[in-house]
């Protein structure tokens, strides 16, 4: 069962004959927007409803949403059937472009959030994204890159997916569109694709020239030589027999694959494998999984999840197990492409596996690895071999010990191990071309390591002196118990003079002579006598000190002491007056007191209050006169527009729309507006022209019906949240004769 919606209108339902559509197909692909195509017969009731690039089309299979996007193209055939082509919502990111700029040292999540924020600022609410899960990142999780008039989608692909890898996924939950950036598959599907059951065709993409039906696994090089002069390797001849490994043989095989393609052998080496059982396991895994690692399968497969609630339906990015006995195949593939034929599920196709595209960095690393491998395989001269043997003897000692030298097939040393036991060690120091590390669990994990890419991994570092260009972390702790010294942070200038010290006693700021000027400790903030940016500070008691402020010519323009604060001819806090004289803006007579709750008692009489930086009030603003917004007009200069007042605070929104050919129109209310109001809203409609219109209210939208094709304006009003009192009473001080200045209160 499937349903298709255009905005909130049901336009197709597989259970309703009059809403039938022709050949509906949803096509989804990893890191792509996806498409939805369908055809409407000419007699469909919503034949003319859908508009290109306006409104959202949503597709549900059962109760699961599998597509959301907008219509980008329509065509009409000879029989007036209309074909619709829709793009998935990931394509919305192609509609916005990032201006030239550079970003530095951002994590993959921070970079994605910045790009999405830029996109969201330019588009309407229904085309915005919220960054969800981000698990893909490089080893440093630090990205620096440029933007230069590329689309948001292009920048995300170039700066994240192409460089780091990973997969984009769009999720719809609770009417929120999340954009996830994942390092790997988010789910392993419990449904198995099996040839002969729900796998119809597996021929595409499988190159039988590279197929091996028999694997001969070889492990470490042994000290014994059954054939003189020829090194012997660990094999699986002594491993227990089973269906894939006949007793006493050195191979594993797939009987079904051999029956289909014949006996095709391949030797695979694992130089570090020392146990027969492990070697057998690796041989089987290679036969069934590893040799198909880079395989991309395009196949026809029936999704049994649509016929049984016990099975999971296929989803893009699912890891799905594929079993094909004729090929010896039994491994998990990622579902990278999915074509869903809603009317004919038997026509569904899936693509499993990911085509790898190496970036320049990855290609360089691969090339370097090949060069190193070629160098290692060059024959060793007698002189070099002698030096190696001598070094080995010096390290291991005459009687051997717990130092182990690992060698490659050519006898060259490739790794040094220092262990607490020769057999089954617990503590291991390991050093090879990839780095240096320590393990305390027998080599399963290395919690302390220095790797060849310059990284140091450690759970705890103790250092007397450490030099670094940059330290990144969640917490910096100095001082504390058990360190033998008080913790301290010291900041110096380029002349090695101390500017700031933060230690266990507090914080001290020093002048150019090394004298402390400002102290911040448990007792509060203390400043010595001196000059800070032109102000002299004199030491004194709790209210006996003073601050003098001077201009560039040495004239005193400000003074603050126990009696008040005076900025020359500008502001005076004094007993018993408070004023701003130079512009005649704010003045007051009598005492002005502010208590701990931020309430002001006394009287402040205002002629005008001017703020060029904005003003924010966290409590009520009560005005005796009018509340106005001023606008500078070209024709009449500055004009004041008074605010509209009501007994209860209201919010309003204004817009316009038009009824369709049936005389109907649905107007969605902005969810941000609804989040700030409560109770029922009021709608006022004004048609343009001789028309009759009526309004029906719903929770998130209102519907207008009446004369077809009528333009109209609307205004919505609703009570603000957290405001319940009508005609709230206020108390103000009575005006006295001494409170008048310049004819204003």
- The closest alpha carbon to 142, from 102, 107, 181, 182, belongs to 107
CB 438 within 8 A of CB 449: yes
How many beta carbons lie within 10 A of that of residue 588, not counting itself? 18
pLDDT at 376: 46
Residue 710 is predicted with a pLDDT of 94
Give the residue, 126 or 629, on which the prediction is more confident. 126
pLDDT of residue 55: 92
Confidence band, pLDDT 50/70/90 cuts, at residue 617: low
**What's the mean pLDDT when you consider all of the chain?**
78
Nearest to 101 by CA among 156, 160, 146, 149: 146
Lookup: tokens for 627: 């509340």
Phi, psi of 738 (to 5 degrees): -75, 0
Does the pLDDT at position 180 exceed 50? yes
Rounded CA gap, 256 and 328, in Å? Answer: 7
The 10s digit of each residue's pLDDT in 233-262 is: 999 999 999 989 999 999 999 887 888 778
Beta bridge partners of 703: 666, 696
For residues 259-280, give the mean pLDDT.
Answer: 89
SS3 209: helix
In this prediction, residue 732 has a pLDDT band, given cuts at 50, 70 and 90, of low
**319: how many CB neighbours lie within 10 A of its CB?**
16
- The span from the CA of 629 to the CA of 602, in Å, is 28
DSSP of 119-177, one letter per residue?
HHTTS-GGG--EEEEE----SS--EEEEE-SEEHHHHHIIIIIHHH--EEEEEEETTEE
Which residues on neighbouring strands pair with residue 500, listed in sequence order?
A: 491, 509
The 10s digit of each residue's pLDDT in 320-349 is 888 877 767 787 888 888 889 999 887 888
3-state secondary structure of 600: strand
Query: What integer pLDDT is reported at residue 365 of this predicted model?
Result: 40
The answer on pLDDT for 538 being more than 60 is no
| pLDDT tens-digit series, residues 674-712 | 999 998 999 999 999 999 999 999 999 999 999 999 999
pLDDT tens digits for range 357-415? 433 333 334 444 444 444 444 444 444 444 445 444 444 443 344 788 888 777 778 88
Q: What's the Cα-to-Cα distance from 673 to each of 68, 103, 718, 720, rounded to whole Å?
A: 24, 34, 9, 10
Identity of the highest mean pLDDT range in 41-55, 357-371, 521-535, 546-560: 41-55
Query: What is the reported pLDDT for 427?
Result: 82
Compute and round to an integer the Cα radius of gyration of the chain.
39
pLDDT exceeds cutoff 60 at 416: yes
pLDDT grade for 220, boundaries at 50, 70 and 90? very high
Structure confidence at residue 179 (pLDDT): 95
More confident residue, 654 or 485: 654
Q: Is the dihedral of CA 601, 604, 608, 609 positive or negative?
A: negative
pLDDT number for residue 421: 73
- Tens of pLDDT, residue by residue over 453-491, are 667 877 656 565 676 666 766 677 777 655 545 678 888
Q: Which tens digits make up the pLDDT trace of 39-95? A: 999 999 999 999 999 999 999 998 889 999 999 999 998 889 999 999 999 999 999
Neighbours of 675 (CB within 10 A): 8
pLDDT grade for 226, boundaries at 50, 70 and 90: confident
| pLDDT interval class at 200 (50, 70, 90) | low
């Amino acid at each position: 069962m499937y349903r298709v919606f255009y905005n909130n209108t049901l336009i197709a339902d597989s259970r309703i004959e009059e809403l039938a559509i022709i050949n509906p197909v949803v096509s989804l692909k990893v890191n792509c927007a996806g498409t939805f195509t369908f055809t409407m017969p000419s007699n469909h009731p919503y034949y003319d409803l859908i508009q290109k690039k306006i409104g959202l089309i949503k597709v549900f299979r059962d109760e699961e949403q599998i597509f959301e996007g907008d219509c980008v193209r329509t065509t009409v055939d000879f029989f007036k059937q209309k074909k619709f082509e829709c793009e998935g919502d990931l394509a919305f990111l192609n509609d916005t472009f990032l201006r030239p700029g550079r970003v530095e040292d951002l994590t993959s999540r921070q970079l994605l959030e910045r790009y999405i924020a830029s996109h969201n600022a330019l588009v309407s609410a229904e085309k915005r994204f919220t960054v969800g899960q981000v698990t893909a990142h490089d080893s440093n999780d630090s990205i620096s890159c440029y933007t230069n008039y590329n689309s948001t989608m292009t920048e995300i692909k170039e700066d994240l997916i192409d460089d780091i890898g990973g997969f984009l996924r769009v999720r719809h939950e609770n009417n929120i569109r999340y954009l996830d950036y994942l390092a790997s598959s988010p789910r392993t599907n419990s449904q198995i694709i099996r040839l002969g059951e729900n796998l119809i065709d597996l021929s595409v993409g499988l190159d039988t020239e590279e197929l091996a039906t028999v694997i001969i696994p070889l492990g470490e090089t042994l000290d014994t030589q059954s054939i003189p002069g020829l090194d012997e390797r660990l094999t699986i001849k002594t491993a227990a027999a089973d269906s894939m490994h006949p007793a006493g043989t050195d191979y594993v095989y797939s009987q079904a694959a051999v029956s289909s393609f014949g006996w095709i052998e391949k030797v695979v080496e694992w130089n570090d494998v020392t146990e027969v059982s492990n070697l057998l396991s690796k041989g089987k895994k290679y036969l069934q999984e590893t040799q198909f690692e880079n395989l991309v399968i395009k196949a026809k497969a029936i999704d049994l999840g649509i016929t049984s609630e016990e099975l999971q339906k296929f989803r893009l990015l699912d890891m799905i197990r594929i079993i094909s006995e004729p090929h010896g195949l039994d491994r998990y593939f990622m579902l990278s492409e999915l074509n869903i034929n809603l009317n004919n599920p038997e026509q569904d196709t899936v693509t499993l596996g990911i085509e790898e595209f190496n970036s320049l960095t990855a290609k360089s690393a691969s090339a370097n690895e090949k060069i190193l491998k070629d160098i290692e395989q060059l024959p060793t001269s007698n002189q070099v071999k002698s030096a190696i043997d001598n070094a080995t003897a010096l390290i291991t000692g005459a009687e051997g010990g717990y130092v182990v030298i690992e060698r490659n097939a050519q006898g060259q040393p490739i790794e040094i191990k220092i262990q607490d036991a020769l057999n089954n060690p617990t503590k291991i120091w390991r050093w090879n071309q990839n780095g240096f590390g320590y393990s305390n669990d027998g080599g399963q994990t290395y919690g302390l390591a220095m790797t060849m890419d310059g990284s140091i991994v450690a759970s705890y570092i103790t250092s007397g002196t450490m030099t670094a260009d940059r330290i990144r972390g969640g917490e910096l702790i100095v001082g504390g118990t058990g360190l033998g010294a008080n913790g301290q942070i010291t900041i110096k200038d380029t002349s090695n003079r101390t500017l700031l010290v933060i230690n266990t006693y507090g914080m001290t700021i020093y002048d150019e002579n090394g004298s402390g000027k400002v102290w911040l400790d448990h007792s509060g903030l203390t400043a010595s006598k001196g000059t800070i940016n032109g102000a002299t500070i004199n030491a004194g008691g709790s209210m006996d000190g003073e601050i003098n402020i001077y201009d560039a010519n040495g004239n005193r323009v400000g003074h603050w002491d126990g009696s008040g604060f005076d900025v020359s001819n500008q502001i005076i806090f004094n007993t018993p007056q408070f004023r701003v004289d130079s512009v005649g803006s704010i003045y007051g007579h009598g005492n002005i007191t502010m208590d701990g709750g931020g309430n002001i008692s006394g009287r402040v009489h205002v002629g005008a209050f001017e703020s060029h930086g904005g003003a924010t009030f966290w409590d009520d603003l009560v005005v005796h006169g009018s509340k106005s917004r001023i606008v500078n007009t070209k024709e009449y200069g500055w004009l004041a527009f008074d605010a509209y007042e009501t007994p209860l605070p209201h919010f309003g929104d204004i817009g316009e729309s038009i009824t369709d050919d049936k005389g109907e129109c649905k107007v969605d209310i902005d969810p941000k507006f609804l989040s700030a109001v409560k109770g029922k809203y009021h709608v006022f409609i004004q048609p343009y022209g001789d028309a009759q219109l009526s309004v029906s209210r719903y929770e998130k939208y209102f519907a207008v019906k009446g004369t077809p094709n009528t333009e109209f304006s609307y205004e919505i009003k609703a009570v603000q949240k957290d405001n319940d009192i009508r005609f709230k009473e206020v108390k103000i001080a009575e005006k006295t004769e001494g409170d008048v200045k310049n004819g204003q209160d």
